[in-house]
Amino acid sequence: MSLLKKLAMTTAIAAAMMTTQAMAAERIALVVKSLGNGFFDAAAKGAEEAAKELGDVEVIYTGPTSATAEGQIEIINSLIAQKVDAIAISANDPDALVPALKKAMDRGIKVISWDSGVAQDGRMLHLNPSDTNLIGETIIKLAADYMPDGGEVAILSAASTATNQNAWIDAAKKVLPEKFPNIKLDAVVYGDDDSVKSTNEAKGLISTYPNLKAIIAPTTVGVVAAAQVVTDQNLIGKINVTGLALPSEFKKFIDNGASQAVALWNPIDLGYSAVYLSDQLIKGKEAKPGETFSIGKVGEIKLDDTNSAAMAAPYTFDKSNIEKFSKIY
């Protein structure tokens, strides 16, 4: 074979390799707190929608079977070995995941947290579903609006280490004396986003606090469990269950009166936005305070001093609109 032909063949092979690499899809891992959770399943739909719009993205939807930091660390290490392009994670623990995620970033993997945040050292940016203080006030107001004379309430949260839940609860506690002085918070308990444990915690609250007027659950698993307990114990009209809920999962409890109203942002938009942000980082956009990022059809965000931003305000669902939204997510 002549030198000219060899050179032509080498050039052709190199061009083919470059074309193949250019055509290779970005791989973005959407890591959730636990699988089998309707909220995260909805987020995965949004992630796939964004991937289709962007055209060069493959979404890997994954998470542990139970909401633990250990389970997520195992998955992160597996994703590092797979050499994914980005990891977008809703964290079960803000600090425990940092070493594994720093390792991922050291390997060139872009890392963001969304929904439930990771400490700053463990991610490049964080997308809050909404403003923390606004969520904290909203979950209290959802109960207070149906307690004109005030009374006792309790909070049923997810894991005790869940970044987002703890921030919302802290915000709720701060706003109580100023805006809701007639509301007394009896206790905060943790169901670990596990249906059985959340059910038992709800039963425990009802048994321990006989004057309880509302259970507030800022978790889609806990709010369903608490509403089912109130229904099963014939306490509809005596204890109102409220918090953050998926309309499709919670409609029956609005219909039967176990709950007057709940709220949530759109988890489909949240998963969609997480993929859009990850894609921009992969393509070279720098995450820094004051930087503006597009989140596609959802709009845009501007990063604060901690490289965090909020997507949208929570939306209230009640008898007037639960039917409509239950068909969407």
Residues sharing a CB contact under 8 Å with residue 90, sequence separation 6 or more, in sequence order: 31, 32, 33, 40, 43, 113, 114, 115, 116
The pLDDT value given to residue 10: 44
Farthest-apart Cα atoms in the chain, separation:
94
Residue 297 lies in a domain: yes
Task: Render each residue's pLDDT in the chain as its tens digit; 329 residues.
Answer: 554 444 444 444 444 444 444 456 899 999 999 999 999 999 999 999 999 999 999 999 999 999 999 999 999 999 999 999 999 999 999 999 999 999 999 999 999 999 999 999 999 999 999 999 999 999 999 999 999 999 999 999 999 999 999 999 999 999 999 999 999 999 999 999 999 999 999 999 999 999 999 999 999 999 999 999 999 999 999 999 999 999 999 999 999 999 999 999 999 999 999 999 999 999 999 999 999 999 999 999 999 999 999 998 899 999 999 999 999 89
Distance CA 71, CA 39 (A): 19
Q: What φ, ψ does residue 287 adopt, rounded to 5°?
A: -90, 115
Residue 151 lies in a domain: yes
Residue 10 lies in a domain: no
Write the CATH number for 285: 3.40.50.2300
210 shares a domain with 180: yes
Q: Which two tokens stand for residue 17?
A: 């390799």
The pLDDT value given to residue 6: 45
**Burial per residue of 13-39, b for 16 or more beta-carbon CB atoms within 10 angstroms, e otherwise:** eeeeeeeeeeeeebbbbbbbbbbebbb
Residue 318 lies in a domain: no
Distance CA 240, CA 77 (A): 43
Distance CA 257, CA 248 (A): 16
41 shares a domain with 70: yes
* CA distances to 79, 192, 278 from 101, in Å: 10, 22, 14
Distance CA 195, CA 222 (A): 7
Distance CA 156, CA 203 (A): 11
Q: What φ, ψ does residue 190 adopt, rounded to 5°?
A: -125, 125
The pLDDT value given to residue 313: 84
Distance CA 223, CA 246 (A): 9
Domain that holds residue 235: 132-264
39 shares a domain with 64: yes
Sheet holding 57-62, edge to edge: 57-62, 26-31, 86-89, 110-114, 125-128, 308-310
H/E run at residue 28: strand 26-31
Q: Which two tokens stand for residue 328?
A: 């969407």
110 shares a domain with 99: yes
Domain tally for the chain? 2
Residue 56 lies in a domain: yes
Helix axes 163-179, 132-144, angle to 10 degrees: 60
pTM for this structure?
A: 0.85
239 shares a domain with 138: yes
The pLDDT value given to residue 22: 44
218 shares a domain with 121: no
CA angle, 156 then 158 then 163, to 5°: 120
Q: Which two tokens stand for residue 224?
A: 């369903």
**pLDDT tens-digit series, residues 276-323:** 999 999 999 999 999 999 999 999 999 999 999 999 889 999 999 999
99 shares a domain with 33: yes
Amino acid at 218: P
255 shares a domain with 144: yes
Residue 1 lies in a domain: no
**DSSP code of residue 92:** S
